[in-house]
């Protein structure tokens, strides 16, 4: 009795359990099995499960006539990489891009199309490096960010659409974006020249804050670690690692079970923080940007006293720190009046004004500073209960 004799329903169930690669092989056995293996319902399911596609689209987002054709195109376009890694990178980008499309479409619009294998090979040959596997695939999906003239305004001289985001304090503004391969080449050459990096030819610049140009992220192509330049970068090339070393593995080994480099881990974590609301979009002077001051516990503390809610969080500023002497942190304190208002002289009141503040700043339970005085940064905040 032939395999086909089990009936179409059972055959479809068997093929579903087999998964795409095995179904592709079953198709080559005989005509009847080829028919069953070619069923659109099957490939629609595989496309949905593996690539989260609800329509038959190719990697560029262009439509194809069938789900089977779409799945085939994806596998062929990425045949040079371990498929599980490709799926993982897609999930990472889907999450980031999904968040951006919903919350920050202006930034989503700056994401470029994927680079080609030829583009990547060109960079590797010009810079004489070999990109780690996960990073290559990341660039195959999106080749960094593109900005046009209108993104740089008086208010945002360095742009505000970096998808990594940043922070600002006392007029110092940071907004980090992902560089396309063409800029990676330019910046890396520039840095190598100016900072005398010849002994470190494994480093390439992958992300930077276009405002001050002071914050630069370097990928070490040999071991897959990501570093950020400290304030000593211009003098002795000092930088700090961004990702725990123990997480990085098998960045050049196609046959390993698990390949992850710092770039992938960093972007995955960033996507998680955006999605969970740990970091959010903030508006400052009419300009929106991704702000790295945490907004959720445990990295953000909240206390409400007599109707006044205070939220505080801190962010590490590596580009103004140095590894020998001091680490610099910036803090953000936000004050508002809760809807119920506050009590003043035993009377409910729906407005209040900040007169004085006293911050006690601790590091590891030891007090490191007091900030004491009128108003805050010279201003007296006036808070009113928001009228809905």
Partner 1 sequence: MSSPPSASASSSPPPCPKKMITLRSSDGATFEIEETAALQSKTLENMIHENCASTLIPVPNITGEVLARVVEFCSKHAEAGVDDESLGAWDEEFVAVDHTTLFDYIRAANFLEIPTLLDLGCQTVADMIKGKTPDEIKKTFKITTACTPEEEEEVRGENQWAFE
The reply to whether 34 sits near partner 1 by the rule CB under 8 A is: yes
CB closer to partner 1, 79 vs 379: 79
Q: How many C-beta neighbours within 10 Å does residue 151 have?
A: 20
CB closer to partner 1, 86 vs 290: 86
Interface positions, 53-82, toward partner 1 (CB under 8 A): 72, 75-76, 79
Secondary structure string (H, E, C) spanning 51-82? HCCCCCECCCCCECCCHHHHHHHHHHHCCCCC
In the bound complex, what is the minimum distance in angstroms from residue 40's beta carbon to partner 1?
14
Residue 138 near residue 89 (C-beta atoms within 8 A): yes
In the bound complex, what is the minimum distance in angstroms from residue 254's beta carbon to partner 1?
12
In the bound complex, what is the minimum distance in angstroms from residue 68's beta carbon to partner 1?
8
The reply to whether 23 sits near partner 1 by the rule CB under 8 A is: yes
In the bound complex, what is the minimum distance in angstroms from residue 15's beta carbon to partner 1?
8
Sequence-separated (6 or more) residues with CB below 8 Å from residue 271: 92, 95, 96, 99
Beta-bridge partner residues of 303: 310
Nearest to residue 387, comparing CAs of 334, 333, 335, 341? Answer: 341
Residue 40 and residue 383: Cα distance in Å, rounded?
Answer: 60
Q: Which stretch, 28-36, 121-129, 195-203, 273-281, contacts partner 1 (CB under 8 A)?
A: 28-36
The reply to whether 363 sits near partner 1 by the rule CB under 8 A is: no
Residue 80 near residue 136 (C-beta atoms within 8 A): no
Residue 238 and residue 53: Cα distance in Å, rounded?
Answer: 44
Helices (H) and strands (E) in the chain, counts: 12, 17
The reply to whether 303 sits near partner 1 by the rule CB under 8 A is: no
3 state DSSP class of 114:
coil
CB closer to partner 1, 75 vs 200: 75
**Angle CA 188–193–194, to nearest 5:** 100
CB closer to partner 1, 37 vs 317: 37
Q: Which stretch, 14-22, 110-118, 261-269, 326-334, contacts partner 1 (CB under 8 A)?
A: 14-22
The reply to whether 100 sits near partner 1 by the rule CB under 8 A is: no
Residue 306 and residue 291: Cα distance in Å, rounded?
Answer: 28
End-to-end Cα distance, the chain: 73
The reply to whether 376 sits near partner 1 by the rule CB under 8 A is: no
In the bound complex, what is the minimum distance in angstroms from residue 55's beta carbon to partner 1?
20
Q: Work out which of 13, 101, 343, 360 binds partner 1, going by CB under 8 A.
A: 13
Residue 40 near residue 71 (C-beta atoms within 8 A): no
In the bound complex, what is the minimum distance in angstroms from residue 247's beta carbon to partner 1?
29
The reply to whether 35 sits near partner 1 by the rule CB under 8 A is: no
The reply to whether 18 sits near partner 1 by the rule CB under 8 A is: yes
CB closer to partner 1, 2 vs 154: 2
In the bound complex, what is the minimum distance in angstroms from residue 84's beta carbon to partner 1?
14
The contact set with partner 1 (CB under 8 A) reads: 1-3, 5-7, 9-10, 13-14, 17-18, 20-32, 34, 72, 75-76, 79
């Amino acid at each position: 009795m032939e395999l086909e004799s089990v009936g179409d329903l059972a055959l479809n169930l068997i093929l579903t359990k087999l998964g795409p690669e095995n179904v592709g092989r079953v198709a080559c056995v005989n005509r009847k099995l080829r028919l069953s293996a070619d069923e659109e319902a099957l490939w629609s399911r595989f496309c949905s499960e593996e690539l989260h596609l609800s329509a038959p689209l190719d990697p560029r987002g262009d439509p194809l006539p069938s789900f089977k054709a779409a799945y085939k195109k994806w596998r062929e376009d990425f045949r040079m990489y371990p498929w599980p890694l490709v799926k993982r990178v897609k999930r990472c980008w889907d999450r980031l891009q999904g968040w951006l499309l919903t919350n920050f479409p202006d930034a989503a619009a700056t994401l470029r199309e994927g680079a080609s294998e030829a583009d990547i090979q060109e960079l590797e040959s010009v810079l004489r490096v070999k990109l780690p596997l996960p990073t290559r695939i990341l660039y195959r999906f999106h080749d960094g960010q593109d900005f046009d003239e209108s993104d740089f305004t008086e208010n945002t001289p360095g742009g505000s659409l970096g998808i990594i985001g940043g922070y600002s304090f006392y007029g110092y503004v940071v907004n980090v974006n992902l560089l396309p391969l063409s800029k990676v080449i330019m910046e890396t050459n520039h840095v190598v020249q100016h900072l005398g990096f010849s002994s470190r030819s494994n480093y390439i610049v992958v992300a930077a804050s276009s405002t001050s140009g002071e914050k630069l992220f370097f990928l070490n192509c040999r071991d897959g670690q990501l570093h950020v330049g400290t304030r000593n970068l211009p003098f002795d090339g000092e930088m700090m690692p961004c990702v725990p070393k123990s997480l990085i593995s098998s960045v050049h080994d196609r046959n390993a079970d698990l390949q992850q480099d710092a770039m992938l881990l960093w972007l995955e974590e960033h996507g998680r923080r955006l999605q969970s609301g740990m970091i959010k979009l903030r508006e400052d002077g009419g300009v929106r940007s991704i702000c790295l001051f945490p907004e959720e516990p445990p990295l953000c503390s909240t206390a409400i006293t007599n109707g006044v809610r205070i939220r505080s969080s801190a962010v590490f500023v590596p580009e103004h720190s140095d590894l020998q002497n001091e680490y610099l942190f910036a803090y953000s304190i936000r004050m508002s009046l809760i809807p119920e208002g506050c009590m003043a002289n035993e009377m409910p009141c729906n407005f209040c004004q900040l007169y004085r503040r006293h911050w006690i700043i601790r590091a590891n339970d030891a007090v490191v500073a007091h900030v004491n005085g009128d108003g805050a940064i010279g201003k007296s905040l006036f808070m009113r209960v928001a009228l809905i």
